[in-house]
Amino acid sequence: MRDNHQIANIDFVKQTNSAVVYKLIDQQGPISRIQISELSQLAPASVTKITRNLLARGLIKEVAQQESTGGRKATSIIVESKAFHSILVHLGTKQMTLAIMNLSSELLKKEILDLPDCQSAVEMEQFLIAHLARFIEKNQRKNAALIAIGITVPGFVDVKTNCIQYLPHLSLSEPWDLANHLAEYFQLMTFIGHDVRSLALAEHYFGATKDCYDSLLLRIHRGVGAGIVINHEIFLGYKNNVGEIGHIQVDPLGKRCLCGNVGCLETVVSNEAIEEKMLGLLEEGYKSKWISLESHDIEAICNAVNKHDIVAVNLIEHVGTQIGRVLAMSVNMFNPEKIVISGEITQAQNVLFSAIHRTLDNLALPAFVKNTPLVVSELQNEDVIGAFALIKQALLDGRLLQHLLSE
């Protein structure tokens, strides 16, 4: 008699094999069954069985035939992406973004809402569910199926329980089981993750680090955080959260950070920190042709940098140097194949990147730096593409795929 453990193993093998086949079709389609069998090392009969199930569920489709190596025509397969939609949520500190994407990561709808001043997770959850229900009702098309919800938050998430452990803008009396509550309410599998870590995964699936095993993404926006991809997977660690390089101290006499310490990288290079610094300089009497007390946001500052404005250039050089110091430590520690910078500040790429390069050259191991390109993120829809990456991950590793096949 088989015990539960063996049954679980058989299910796991089924899930893994289906995932291997789906992943090959997704990444290399159009592809024939024979090629899938060769590349996956699965027996042709297994491939036929798995593709039959995937076809029956509409997850893949057959397309025009291609010549096989033996001269016979072989039917090719690609994944079906338009007929499946996913719901994406980014629960930010001040705003919430709701979106719908199809499986080609094509954005179909997006709505940004200001968050109310919620005092508790319960209140926030009620607000989120009410607006999400309305958003789905208004925008979901009949000819496509909703398959999952992806949600990202700027806080710590426990991967084992799916609970939010910490958010910077809402004090939680206990871990918040938001993802499971959404799954129950909307009857959809729900995946949750840290926003910057998920963004690094999205960059690996769809952006600048597609060709890398290991990479590091630094996101500079309201806060500063990083995501590390190791061997094609986002590195989360046993304790779930890795990459808080925005809280490495760069100025021992600096400003108080949200985390309680002083002079963290975030207090010097976040958009708000840069804008505040510029405001202070203007109030001190520094003159700029392009920036004023009324117009000194990050876009205006980057624009001024690109017009060679001295004050703006000096400020972004200072910012680049501080980023470079923290990146130098990270490069020495992880030796990534590529470093990606994401955020509005990359509009001043020329000045920013030369300051970062200069600092990396001075502070990081020369052999590591020499082989590590520094690039700008290639992603669009940065607010929600991370949530989509979580869904994509669950399709490729079989968790969501198996669920869809068993429905």
Smallest gap from residue 258 Cβ to Zn ion (A): 6
The reply to whether 262 sits near Zn ion by the rule CB under 5 A is no
Nearer to Zn ion, 259 or 376 (CB): 259
Nearer to Zn ion, 166 or 186 (CB): 166
The one segment of 171-179, 208-216, 264-272, 379-387 that binds Zn ion by CB under 5 A? 264-272
The reply to whether 264 sits near Zn ion by the rule CB under 5 A is yes
The one segment of 142-150, 187-195, 260-268, 312-320 that binds Zn ion by CB under 5 A? 260-268
Smallest gap from residue 224 Cβ to Zn ion (A): 9
Smallest gap from residue 252 Cβ to Zn ion (A): 13
Nearer to Zn ion, 30 or 168 (CB): 168
Sign of CA dihedral 236, 192, 247, 343: positive
Instruction: Specify burial of residue 59 (Cβ count, 10 A radius: 0-12, 13-18, 19+).
Output: buried
Residue type for position 108: L
> What distance in Å separates the CA atoms of residue 105 and residue 86, rounded to the nearest whole number?
9
Nearer to Zn ion, 126 or 261 (CB): 261
Quick one: which of 159, 157, 182 has its CA closest to 167?
157
Binding mask 197-236 vs Zn ion (x if CB under 5 A, - otherwise)? ----------------------------------------
The one segment of 14-22, 263-271, 334-342, 383-391 that binds Zn ion by CB under 5 A? 263-271
> What distance in Å separates the CA atoms of residue 52 and residue 33, rounded to the nearest whole number?
11
The reply to whether 250 sits near Zn ion by the rule CB under 5 A is no
Nearer to Zn ion, 100 or 224 (CB): 224
Question: Scanning the structure block, which residue is given the tokens 């593409």?
Answer: 385
Nearer to Zn ion, 105 or 270 (CB): 270
Q: Which two tokens stand for residue 13?
A: 């093998």
Nearer to Zn ion, 171 or 261 (CB): 261
Smallest gap from residue 336 Cβ to Zn ion (A): 23
The reply to whether 257 sits near Zn ion by the rule CB under 5 A is yes
Instruction: Specify burial of residue 239 (Cβ count, 10 A radius: 0-12, 13-18, 19+).
Output: exposed
CA torsion angle for 103, 187, 53, 85 (degrees, to 10)?
-20
Strand locations in 51-175 (E): 60-67, 73-79, 84-91, 95-102, 107-114, 145-153, 156-158, 163-166
How many residues sit in the footprint of Zn ion (CB under 5 A)?
Answer: 5
Smallest gap from residue 177 Cβ to Zn ion (A): 27
Which residues lie below 8 Å from residue 284, measured CB to CB, with a gap of 6+? none
Residues 157-196 binding Zn ion (CB under 5 A) are none
The reply to whether 259 sits near Zn ion by the rule CB under 5 A is yes
Instruction: Look at residue 123 and give its three-state secondary structure.
Output: helix
Smallest gap from residue 144 Cβ to Zn ion (A): 42
Q: Per DSSP, what are the bridge partners of residue 307?
A: none
> What distance in Å separates the CA atoms of residue 198 and residue 48, rounded to the nearest whole number?
34
Among 85, 194, 247, 338, binds Zn ion (CB under 5 A): 247
Smallest gap from residue 141 Cβ to Zn ion (A): 44
Instruction: Look at residue 186 and give its three-state secondary structure.
Output: helix
Nearer to Zn ion, 87 or 242 (CB): 242
Query: By the criterion CB under 5 A, which residues form the site for Zn ion?
Result: 247, 257, 259, 261, 264
